Structure 1
Amino acid sequence: MAEVPLAPVSTPSDGLWRVGRKTNPLRPSRLDPSGDIQFDGNGRIREPGRYDGRQHGTLYFSSDLEGCFAETLATFRVSAALKEDALSDEREQKNLKRAGVIGTTWREGRSIVHVHPKRQEGFLDIADAATLAALSDILRPELADLGIPYLDLGRVMSPNRKVTHAIAKWAAGAVDADGNPLYTGIRYISRHGKNWACWALFHRTEFEESVDEIVQEIDDRKDVPRDCPELLRIADLFGLTIE
């Protein structure tokens, strides 16, 4: 594949943060090859990661710990509809009390991880106007199939994961003249606010056999304490209760 004139960016010098499941906090996520709908341990549909792929795995990070909690706790936010219904419905008032609670089990099942990608440069900046314009041309057939005229921030931050999966598939597969990967991953802005920069790090099994080959842990893994300042700030922002 010919080299594409897209200027990549580098990760912060002080590393990246992640809140992951304690059993394997650095486990990459990927799309199921079968295309079947996946379910989590509670029987709910598991929404795929924004930049997951079938041919590559993806690890998601934030530039700071607060961003990690914003990304992981957003699913606990109480809907506007439930709040509105609770004003006049006693049953919904009870549901409202149970909603928005971060249980002890959730905290005890997570670890805080601080890492440096072993290749800190080479991240595609998806919020860059020139990158969006170039990808609109590169991915023209895929976008046409999806009924999308061009890429903009609204489309790459929308719930339509088919768009971002197409971007990830191209970026993870792009190589230089010597067959080496062009891009380490993708930098993007959290859809929960421009406050947080997020990073999707590709794990390509044809180039890296293990996750240890793409990240180096800076500190020891930590538990998530109830009084973690970043956790408390996001809980307050999202109206959540920490048990």
Structure 2
Amino acid sequence: MVPRHEPRPRRSSAGAPGPRATRERRPGRAGIPGSVRPRQPRSARTPRTLVYRLGRLPDPLEWPPLESAGSGRFDDPARRFRVLYAARQRAACFAETLATFRPSLELLAETGDPADIVGAVSAGFLRSRGVAAFHRRAGRWLDIRQLETLAALRSAFGSTLHEFGLTDVDLSGVCGPQRMFTQSVAAWAYEHGYHGIVYASRLGATFECWAIFDNAAIETGNTASEPADVYVRCPACPTWFVPSCAPTRVFARLPPSAVAIAAVRTKEATAHYLRALW
């Protein structure tokens, strides 16, 4: 007969056998188990890399006047603070600004061939814009791309979502076109001591955009501003953007009513993306 081995009893600290130790469960808030904690918003680290802004010349980094605030995605509807919109990638700041100049879907449907439609930007618009690269100083940046932040916003706005025409808080809401909600998120972030919001562009998931509140400090001592150089489309060229046959400052010879196709000289990848954007 094979002997049966009984499990050895656990011993207490005094040496005598005692009951199996159980992990004490810490009390939580009312209605919330001790092992569950309300999520806190996730903050993004202040990167050491430059960010880019396409803004009005002569100073693209000048804060917009309060009287003109209120139409941007993360503007304050009460006009208590101002916002600078920037992006970590140079292509992103061009794409975000120029997306409104794309041909309408109705026009594309009527034409039937997207290749026949040329996206146009007025010369006057691009003459008055420039690109600035700058650093941000350390601060608190609300990262609305993160699960913890979405959960915190869901808790904060859950009872009022119906007022914005939303049923839940997710990326489609915080990065979507519902300005009343996104501006309310910006006001909430400002009231909770954040210096801005980090969000993903709707034009590309890899584009990292920044809405910088005017309570943030930006380093402008080493910034580099340059005109938003463009090229016109050459009929003899098969490509949309023709850096080989257009002068660097083509606007010197264009009348104010002329139109031009936006392109970026510095990085080929940016030009390719803008070509796809149209």
Please classify the TM superposition score into its range, dividing by the shorter chain length: 0.7 to 0.9
SS state at 1:220 partner: strand
Q: Normalising by the residue count of structure 1, what TM-score does the alignment of the two structures yield?
A: 0.73
One-letter identity of the residue aligned with 1:236: R
The answer to whether the 8 A contact 1:189-1:198 is kept is yes
One-letter identity of the residue aligned with 1:25: P
The count of corresponding residues between Structure 1 and Structure 2 is: 201
Other-structure match for 1:81: 106
For the pair 1:215 / 2:197, whether they are aligned, the reply is no
For the pair 1:196 / 2:214, whether they are aligned, the reply is no
1:134-158, Cα deviation, whole Å (9 max, x unpaired): 1111123442432433210111122
The answer to whether the 8 A contact 1:30-1:58 is kept is no
Distance in 2 of aligned mates of 1:11 and 1:49: 23
Q: Percent identity?
A: 29
Q: Pick the aligned partner of 1:225 from 225, 229, 232.
A: 229
Distance in 2 of aligned mates of 1:155 and 1:127: 11
Single out whichever of 162-171 and 23-32 deviates more from structure 2. 23-32
One-letter identity of the residue aligned with 2:145: A
What is the aligned-residue RMSD (CA, Å)? Answer: 2.7
Change in Cα spacing, 1:139 to 1:31, as seen in structure 2 (3 Å) is: farther
Other-structure match for 1:52: 75
Deviation of residue 214 (structure 1)?
A: 1.5
Other-structure match for 1:15: 50
Indicate the structure whose relative CO is greater, using CA pairs within 8 Å and at least 6 residues apart.
Answer: 1
Change in Cα spacing, 1:162 to 1:18, as seen in structure 2 (3 Å) is: same
Moved segments of 4+, more than 6 Å: none
Distance in 1 of aligned mates of 2:132 and 2:159: 39
1:159-184, Cα deviation, whole Å (9 max, x unpaired): 1111111100010111xxxxxx3x11
Structure 2: tracts of 5 or more residues without a match:
1-38, 231-242, 244-264
Deviation of residue 7 (structure 1)?
A: 2.5
Q: What is the correspondence of 1:107-126 to structure 2 with a 5 Å cutoff?
A: 107-119=126-138, 121-126=139-144
Single out whichever of 121-130 and 103-112 deviates more from structure 2. 103-112
For the pair 1:100 / 2:139, whether they are aligned, the reply is no
Structure 1: tracts of 5 or more residues without a match:
33-37, 39-45, 89-95, 175-180, 205-212
1:23-71, Cα deviation, whole Å (9 max, x unpaired): 4412334775xxxxx7xxxxxxx98111000211111110011110110
Other-structure match for 1:131: 149
One-letter identity of the residue aligned with 1:200: A
Distance in 1 of aligned mates of 2:81 and 2:201: 22
SS state at 1:186 partner: strand
Other-structure match for 1:25: 60
One-letter identity of the residue aligned with 2:200: I
